[in-house]
A = this chain, B = another copy of it.
Amino acid sequence: MRGLMQDWPLLIPKVIDYAAAEHGGRAVVSRSVEGPMHRTTYREVRERALRVAKRLDRDGIRVGDRVATLAWNTWRHLETWYGIAGIGAVYHTVNPRLFEDQIVYIMNHAEDRVLFLDLTFVPLVEKLAGRLPTVERYIVLTDAAHMPRTTLPNAVPYEDWLAEADADFRWADVDENAAAGLCYTSGTTGEPKGVLYSHRSNVLHATMTVMPDCFGLSARDTVMPVVPLFHANSWSLAFAAPMAGAGLVMPGPKLDGASVYDILTSERVTFTAAVPTIWFALLQHMEKEGGALPDLTRVAIGGSACPPAVIEAFEKKYDVPVLHAWGMTEMSPVGSICGIKPEVQTEDYEKLLGVKATQGYTPFGVEWKITDDDGVALPHDGRTFGRLKVRGAAVARRYFKREDEEILDEEGYFDTGDVATIDADGYMRITDRSKDVIKSGGEWISSIELENLAVGHPDVAEAAVIGIAHPKWDERPLLIVVPKAGREPGRDELLEFLRPRIAKWWMPDDVVLVPDIPHTATGKILKTALRERFKDYRLPTAV
């Protein structure tokens, strides 16, 4: 027997319809790529998104077609998302930080028919256009006055293109499970893989992030996603902010410490979110130039683990609580956030900081477990670490055009590739990537924990730990260190530094100093390259 409630599908246009109806005058402020600040409202964003939709329709874009964007966070980028999803097409956010070959690969794989691009990226795309046969039209997100001469075929300034349509349009009537967004994971091995979001997954994910213990967004908030729309779905903020009726501040292309400080304070941002790198730069800027963050009521930090020192600086120095979050493109992306449950609330800041340095717990809509290599669930004791697997309303089931490849276990969980502990209060701590964990005598050693400890040594600029083949233990850890300029820490000195901090069997079997460590396009340590480089390394203990 079915319930007798209305059929009200969870469609992305409902979000901007709601914002325009209930919070129509709320400000959407952007630092434009051309330079000046730009101010609009949800009412206008919706109207222009309707025009984007109508104009795309006239260009022959149909339900399910992919339309790419290569753009910073601005009101125009936001309009294109709602316009594209609003005709039932699929917004495909291209990350400009990918290697050129990767951009070409994903755009051809997605068969993007149109590319919306910022002025910034015109030179890049001119180089690639010859290798992008599916793209019929390049729409530069600017007006005629700022339009550069370009070799891009069929290029047009966005404002001229948009002026050719009015807002008299009805959003497409698609199923809530229809594809709406596409985002590729960069990955350190193999080709990038596309995660294909649905209207439903995006709307449900936004409802979950709006909740008080997640981002906790209100109509009285002013939200600045520093995290780009092209980075893991902008952590849902392009949907969550209008759903909550919160004002939006879009920082455009300027993401250095001084610019972020400037816009945070001048626009009186109350909530913001980005990866740790952004916050290092902001804190360094404020350290040097001074300043305060009186309007900011909390900051979300994720994308990679946030060092406790950054949390402490925000909280103690600037009185801004930190929400440490974890997720991935395959999770839309929020998987957990470090809210404070009553059971861990304490007056002891050092203890609280210990909690806040974890990746937190799941909001409603995400389920997780940790397992061993055989899929057996492991205890939540804060010590045992295992493969972190997730299930939920906004978690990937398959990758785009790889639909025959099973990526879920028998219970429907997706293996995140992370290795983690979960403690008795439910707080999760990422200890490693599963491919980087060092398997020594059947036990696991976390490369990341060793690296984090090693960078605590005053002479160490960066550290990586990889497993090296060992005849008795299978693998043993090798510590690879980039010294700070002019320093040359000794092997024994580094090991003695680690000794009191770790279990004896975690001690690296050797240390090597190197001038630099290779990184991925998104700034992570490229361990595959390190493993290749040290594949013939012989540990002194391997006798």
The one of B6, B63, B361, B395 in contact with A392, judged by C-beta atoms closer than 8 angstroms, is B6
Q: Is the CB of A213 within 8 A of B218?
A: yes
This chain's copy number in the assembly: 2
Given contacts A15-B364, A23-B341, contact A397 B211 (CB under 8 A): no
Q: CA A197 – CA B393 in complex, angstroms?
A: 21
Given contacts A25-B343, A345-B220, contact A179 B1 (CB under 8 A): yes
Q: Is the CB of A3 within 8 A of B341?
A: no
Q: CA A102 – CA B217 in complex, angstroms?
A: 43
The one of B64, B195, B244, B367 in contact with A21, judged by C-beta atoms closer than 8 angstroms, is B367
A322 CB to nearest B CB, Å: 17
A444 CB to nearest B CB, Å: 24
Q: Is the CB of B2 within 8 A of A364?
A: no
The one of B217, B220, B243, B397 in contact with A5, judged by C-beta atoms closer than 8 angstroms, is B397
A254 within 8 A of B: no
Q: Is the CB of A244 within 8 A of B90?
A: no
Q: Is the CB of B179 within 8 A of A10?
A: no
Q: Is the CB of B212 within 8 A of A3?
A: no
A273 CB to nearest B CB, Å: 16
User: CB-nearest residue of chain B relative to A247?
Assistant: B342
Q: Is the CB of B362 within 8 A of A22?
A: yes
Q: Is the CB of A393 within 8 A of B4?
A: no
Which B residues are CB-close (under 8 A) to A339? 218-219
Q: CA A63 – CA B64 in complex, angstroms?
A: 37
Given contacts A208-B207, A210-B211, contact A5 B395 (CB under 8 A): yes
The one of B8, B63, B179 in contact with A395, judged by C-beta atoms closer than 8 angstroms, is B8
Q: Is the CB of A397 within 8 A of B342?
A: no
Type the 1/0 row for A388-419, where 1 means its CB is closer than 8 Å to any CB of B: 00011111111110010000100010100000
Q: Is the CB of B395 within 8 A of A364?
A: no
Question: Which of A7-53 touch B at CB < 8 Å?
Answer: 7-8, 10, 14-15, 17-18, 21-23, 25-26
* 10 nearest A-B pairs in the assembled complex, by CB-CB distance: A3-B198, A1-B64, A5-B201, A4-B196, A8-B393, A212-B218, A3-B179, A4-B398, A207-B207, A6-B397
